[in-house]
């Protein structure tokens, strides 16, 4: 069964450093998403991406965040200058053009900012 | 904009008893409704969905959910709970072509 792959599974970074979280969506999917979950809490929408541009973003997704699909297979989330409160589990998801179903989620990247 | 509410932070049931995890939603159009489960230190795992048709939908691991349009609810149920069902459960909603929004989650604990 096709999977969404996220790397790394766990990343520790110092406050103020840039991080890039990587995702490989399912190959024929066209819509891509990032969500985050602060430990054990609500899953929060960050951003959706379609046709090489952001479709929608939440208030969490400020100027420190950016997304990119650099090579047609990877979908990345960059945090320019990490803060302690960015520590969370970040989930990537994707869905196909005709899909009326739920998204397929990756297993997540746990980001720890120290 | 779509939203979903899970009124209970925690649900405790005894093994073998029926369980219900509540969810209500708000959308402007026809809802697409979903349940996901998250086991400790794991990602989000799809359980079941309602798109259209029969109001009672069946999903993985013996779970089912009932769509009630008049009450705007989509409660998750299982006739007989197992200890292994203990996890965090998230209800989610989309109104096409909107993006998915999750509820705050309900922690289900099934005691032997």
Distance from CA of B88 to the nearest CA of A (A): 8
E strands along chain B, which residues? 3-5, 10-14, 19-21, 24-26, 31-38, 45-50, 56-58, 64-68, 73-78, 87-95, 101-102, 106-111
Whether A42 and B104 lie within 8 Å, measured CB to CB: yes
Q: Inform me whether the pLDDT recorded for B96 exceeds 70.
A: no
CA distances from B68 to A36, B7, B31, B55 (A): 29, 16, 11, 7
At residue A99 the predicted structure's pLDDT band, cuts being 50, 70 and 90, is: low
Whether A91 and B49 lie within 8 Å, measured CB to CB: no
Distance from CA of A82 to the nearest CA of B (A): 22
- Percentage of residues in chain A with pLDDT exceeding 90? 73
Asked if A23 and A74 touch (Cβ cutoff 8 Å), the reply is yes
Work out the number of other CB atoms within 10 angstroms of the CB of residue A50. 16
Averaged pLDDT for residues A71-85:
94
- pLDDT value at position B77? 98
Asked if B107 and B78 touch (Cβ cutoff 8 Å), the reply is no
Asked if A33 and A49 touch (Cβ cutoff 8 Å), the reply is yes
Q: Which residues contact B31 (CB under 8 A, 6 or more apart)?
A: B2, B25, B50, B74, B93, B94, B95
Whether A48 and B90 lie within 8 Å, measured CB to CB: no
- Segment among A83-87, A101-105, B68-72, B106-110 with least mean pLDDT: A101-105
Question: pLDDT tens across B10-66, in order?
Answer: 999 999 999 999 999 998 888 889 999 998 877 888 899 998 889 999 998 999 999
């Amino acid at each position: 069964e096709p999977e969404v792959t996220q790397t790394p599974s766990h990343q520790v970074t110092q406050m103020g450093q840039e991080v890039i979280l990587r995702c490989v969506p399912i190959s024929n999917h066209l819509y891509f998403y990032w969500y985050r979950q602060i430990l054990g809490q609500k899953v929060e929408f960050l951003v959706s991406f379609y046709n090489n541009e952001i479709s929608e973003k939440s208030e969490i997704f400020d100027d420190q965040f950016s997304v990119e699909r650099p090579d047609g297979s990877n979908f990345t989330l960059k945090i320019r200058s990490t803060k302690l409160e960015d520590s969370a589990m970040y989930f990537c998801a994707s869905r196909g053009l005709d899909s009326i179903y739920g998204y397929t989620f990756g297993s997540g990247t746990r980001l720890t900012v120290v | 904009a779509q939203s979903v509410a899970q009124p209970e932070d925690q649900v405790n049931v005894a093994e073998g008893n029926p369980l219900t995890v509540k969810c209500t939603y708000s959308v402007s159009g026809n809802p697409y409704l979903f349940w996901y489960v998250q086991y400790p230190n794991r990602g989000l795992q799809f359980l079941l969905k309602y798109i259209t048709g029969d109001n009672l939908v069946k999903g993985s691991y013996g779970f089912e959910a009932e769509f009630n349009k008049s009450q705007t609810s989509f409660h998750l149920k299982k006739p007989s709970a197992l200890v292994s069902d203990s996890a965090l459960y998230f209800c989610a909603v989309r109104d096409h072509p909107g993006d998915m929004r999750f509820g705050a989650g309900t922690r289900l604990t099934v005691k032997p």
